[in-house]
Structure 1
Amino acid sequence: MQSLITAVREQEEAARFLAWPGDFDLDRSDHGEDVHLASGDALEGFAGDGAGGTFFFCGEGGEERPILYADSEGGAALVAMGLPELLRLLLVVPWWRDCQTFTAEESRELAAGYLDDTPDLVTRRDRAATALGLELLPEADVLTRLRDGAVKAGKNVVLIFTPEGEPYAPLITG
């Protein structure tokens, strides 16, 4: 079975959607700062965003590993339990970084701005999901999984700025 990373690289339309509005680029995997997990588990940067944030696989294994997102301002959060979940998040709620309450209502308000700029957003999203073989979940479910994962499972996944031994601040709190 083909990996999802390979599929993203090979599916141009999906890669374009993930790049924008998803702000996810497989060619931006260097975080630019020396970091490690407090647990000592492996940490592997595999993608980034345009603002200097990085997506990391945590622990050993493949694309099913938990994924931590660290921004360039010293914040971090566990955002997905594996690459399929992360890609669903980026496809369904590409504006997740701007969500404060993680409700479907707030997300719809944020989506309105994106839809004004990109009227074919939903069509492009659906084609990208099909190309990657991903079944999309309802927006409310995706947001709940993000919040619950970050707050519950994520409390044990702490990113440390290695030179100072200081933890990154939680991006998502209860």
Structure 2
Amino acid sequence: MSALIDAIRRHPDAADFLDWPGDFDLDRGEHVEEVHLASGALLKGFAGDGGGGTYFFCGEGGEERPVLYADSEGGAALLALGLPELLRLLLVVPWWRDCPALTVEQSREAAAEYLEDMPDLAEHRDRAAALLGLDLPTEAEALARLREVATGPGRDHALVFTPENTPYRPLIRA
């Protein structure tokens, strides 16, 4: 069952916000190179970004599976333990890639640039969240959870470039 994926497809306002500023598109699930998880667990691309990055479900199951992100530059991180958690992150801190230390200060600096282009960003975000039936965390909570997932359970989700059997570098460090 893919309730949230179906909801995104049914609600253009939510899909539009996730596409920009979230840089998350369900029509871009193919990764640019052959990869696998070091553990051997199933890896299934289901969305991507404009820069060639891919969002993968890890393991068996549905939308509750861990979500790993791999960029096109050889970096990867486990971002969320399930699609609902990923969407909360993308709704609250869509510029997470611009926050290498994952601090609220960095997030607010990055947000300022987005707000110049979209002054009503919070209104659009809240509408998308309501359409998807998601309660949103605070910015600090979303960033703290991202760090917790990436540096905790994320250690067990190492992505490997298959042709050379070399690991991707971690995008988020403890």
TM-score, normalization by structure 1: 0.98
Deviation, structure 1 residue 2 = 6.4
1:11 correspondence with 2:11:
yes
Other-structure match for 1:57: 57
**Partner Cα separation in structure 1 for residue 96 and residue 119 of structure 2:** 19
Q: Find the counterpart in structure 2 of residue 169 from structure 1.
A: 169
Equivalent pair of 2:34/2:161 in contact (CA under 8 Å): yes
Alignment-derived partner of residue 27 in structure 2: 27
SS of structure 1 residue aligned to 2:44: strand
> In the alignment, residue 34 of structure 2 is paired with which amino acid?
D
SS of the residue 1:50 aligns to? coil
Cα deviation for residue 32 of structure 1 reads 2.0
1:129-156: per-residue Cα shift (whole Å, max 9, x none)? 0000000011100000001110111111
User: Is the 2:98–2:106 Cα contact (8 Å) retained in structure 1?
Assistant: no
- Amino acid paired to 1:165: N
Q: Which amino acid aligns with 1:35?
A: V
Mapped to 2, the partners of 1:43 and 1:2 lie a distance apart of 16
User: RMSD of aligned C-alpha atoms?
Assistant: 1.0
Q: Does 1:90 align with 2:90?
A: yes
The list of structure 1 runs, each at least 4 consecutive aligned residues, that deviate by more than 4 angstroms after superposition, is none
Tell me what 1:117 maps to. Answer: 117
- Larger deviation, residues 11-20 vs 101-110: 101-110
**2:64 matched to 1:75?**
no
Q: State the match for 1:152 in structure 2.
A: 152
Distance 2:33 2:100 in 1: 26
CA distance in 2, matches of 1:29, 1:164: 22
CA distance in 2, matches of 1:161, 1:45: 15
Per-residue CA distance 1:71-125 (angstroms, 9 max, x = gap): 0000000000000000001000000011011111221111111111110100000
Residue 73 of structure 1 aligns with an amino acid whose one-letter code is E
With over 3 angstroms needed to count, the CA separation of the structure-2 counterparts of 1:108 and 1:85, relative to structure 1, is same
Mark the runs of 5 or more structure 1 residues left unpaired by the alignment.
Answer: none
Are 2:2 and 2:62, in contact at CA under 8 Å, matched by a contact in 1?
Answer: no
SS state at 1:114 partner:
helix
The one-letter amino acid of 1:147's match is: R
In structure 2, distance between residues paired with 1:101 and 1:51: 21
Measure, in 2, the Cα distance between the counterparts of 1:140 and 1:14: 22
Amino acid at match of 1:101: A
Q: Tell me the amino acid that sits aligned with residue 105 of structure 2.
A: E
Q: Provide the TM-score with structure 2 as the length reference.
A: 0.98
Q: 1:98-137 counterparts in 2 under 5 A?
A: 98-137=98-137
